[in-house]
Amino acid sequence: MSDGPQRFVVEPVESVGGALSVPGDKSISHRAAMLAAVARGTSRIRGFLHGEDCLATLEACRALGASIDDNGQDGLEIEGRGLDGLQPPAHALDLGNSGTALRLLAGLLATQPFDVELTGDESLCSRPMARITDPLAAMGARIHSSDGRAPLVIRGGARLNGIEYTLPVASAQVKSALLLAGLSAAGRTTVRSPAPTRDHTERMLLGMGVPVAQDDAGVVSIDGPAEPHAFELSVPGDFSSAAFFVVAACLAANDGMTIRNVGVNPTRTGLLTILREMGGEIELANLRTVGTEPVADLHVRQSRLHGIEVPPALVPLTIDEFPILFIAAAGASGQTVVRGAEELRYKESDRLAVMAEALNALGATVRELSDGLVIHGGRLAGGRVSSHGDHRVAMALAVAALLAEDAIEILDTAQVATSFPGFTAEAARAGIPIASPA
């Protein structure tokens, strides 16, 4: 359980602005730590996210024998053990609130010669895991769970073979788990996705000397066994963290706002496309490539947003940004319809139900669908709501103060530190003061 503040109180705010930065990308940080741990040689990583989820991944890598020096702003140095050099941990690996860490480590550890247990907090242990245990078992992994949920127990000594697998639902976590298992499997591992998903794992593997075959139809393959080489990496700012300020600026940045050094991988930026279709004035400046990832500065101005029907093809590219997109929809004229987003029910909370509950409590008109929401835009009244322990919901509801007539009190906010340490300080810099009363 995070030791962050248990509640936020946010007074109504009329305008925001300034120049901001956000912490390092969470998805990239997880992958960098894991792959550095099994690489040969010493990897150097700058900009690693020191949020609780990624720190749990670092601790797991240490427990597996990787030598990690954390030099603060000078970055991490991780001396890898190689694919066959990890050591049995002395205890179960506790991944806290991080589904990414647990699912990807399940793939990476499926071929180790020792037994290992992967667990986490109450929220993580309530999320479905059959989506990774079933295909890993098909590769030959001996992996067990209770009712398809964590804790997961992986029995050592399994010999994996590459398989061809079609994802039932687009999921970067499942795809990455299978690719990481494929590093130690015999033969080719091929994963087909019904829609595009974030490709940080593929980019990182290529940068570490592992050949990865990809095509435009969502098919990714690697030939195992293949051991990654040590690397140097600068982690860009997390687009999912920047998203809160992008929406805040669309709602209230009269003089504009700049968010610097943000990763703009096209498999992550569906929110930008949606906001632009809603009328958002967003520009990418200083576009460049850092390592294997595209990076830019985002310039955003207050915009006249209008409701739209979100194109289904953009849903997988926006999956972590929907809580803040629902706030944008609440501030837009007309009606916004989101469908095809049933995956949101299996995040840190049921984000469809939780966001519908919170927005309706604040005075919006929201109808919950089985796979999405219908939101009618307008002003919010303020009031008390709960994030249900979901960090992205808590931060999104803080931005809702830009639409509110009265203060918004948000309960159960401690988990914000899992992905965005320093969120309240950065929000204050943007003009959104957040009090955290005891």
Closest to 205 in 3D by CA, of 181, 240, 186, 187: 181
DSSP string covering 161-197, please?
A: B--EEE-SS--HHHHHHHHHHHTSSBEEEEEE-SS--
Q: Is pLDDT of 19 > 80?
A: yes
Distance separating alpha carbons of residues 398 and 244, to the nearest angstrom: 9
The residue type found at 433 is P
Q: What is the pLDDT of residue 326?
A: 98
Architecture of domain 7-24+236-435: Alpha-beta prism (3.65)
Q: Classify the C-alpha dihedral 414-416-421-423 as positive or negative.
A: negative
pLDDT tens-digit series, residues 236-265: 999 999 999 999 999 999 999 999 999 999
Q: What is the pLDDT of residue 3?
A: 60
* Arithmetic mean of pLDDT, 15-33: 97
pLDDT-derived band at 1 (thresholds 50, 70, 90) equals very low
Distance separating alpha carbons of residues 136 and 309, to the nearest angstrom: 37
Q: Is pLDDT of 359 > 90?
A: yes
| Residue spans of beta strands (DSSP E) within 30-136 | 42-46, 67-70, 76-79, 93-94, 116-119
Distance separating alpha carbons of residues 138 and 406, to the nearest angstrom: 54
Distance separating alpha carbons of residues 226 and 347, to the nearest angstrom: 32
pLDDT tens-digit series, residues 211-222: 999 998 889 999
Cβ atoms of 237 and 229 within 8 Å: the answer is no
Residues belonging to the chain: 438
CATH code for 26-234? 3.65.10.10
* Arithmetic mean of pLDDT, 194-204: 95
pLDDT tens-digit series, residues 70-120: 987 779 999 999 999 999 999 999 999 999 999 999 999 999 999 999 999
260 contact partners, CB below 8 Å, separation of at least 6: 19, 20, 21, 237, 297
Q: What is the maximum alpha-carbon separation in the chain?
A: 61
pLDDT tens-digit series, residues 135-183: 999 999 999 998 899 999 999 999 999 999 999 999 999 999 999 999 9
Q: What is the pLDDT of residue 238?
A: 98
Using CB atoms within 10 A of its CB, is residue 411 exposed (0-12), middle (13-18) or buried (19+)? middle
Q: What is the pLDDT of residue 245?
A: 98
* Arithmetic mean of pLDDT, 17-39: 97
- Whether 320 is catalytic: yes
Sheet holding 281-290, edge to edge: 18-21, 257-263, 293-301, 281-290
Distance separating alpha carbons of residues 287 and 285, to the nearest angstrom: 5
Q: Return the number of other C-beta atoms located less than 10 Å from residue 370's C-beta.
A: 8
Q: Where in the chain is the domain with CATH 3.65.10.10?
A: 7-24+236-435, 26-234
Tokens of 315: 């849903």
Q: What is the pLDDT of residue 146?
A: 83
Q: What is the mean pLDDT of the chain?
A: 96
pLDDT tens-digit series, residues 324-334: 999 999 999 99
Q: Is the peptide bond before 151 cis (omega within 30 degrees of 0)?
A: yes
272 contact partners, CB below 8 Å, separation of at least 6: 246, 264, 280, 282
Q: How far is CA 245 from CA 62, 272, 300, in A?
A: 34, 12, 9
- Bridge partners of 263, per DSSP, are 295
Indicate which residue of 215, 320, 371, 412 is catalytic. Answer: 320
Phi, psi of 95 (to 5 degrees): -95, 15
pLDDT tens-digit series, residues 280-336: 999 999 999 998 999 999 999 999 999 999 999 999 999 999 999 999 999 999 999
Q: What is the pLDDT of residue 2?
A: 57
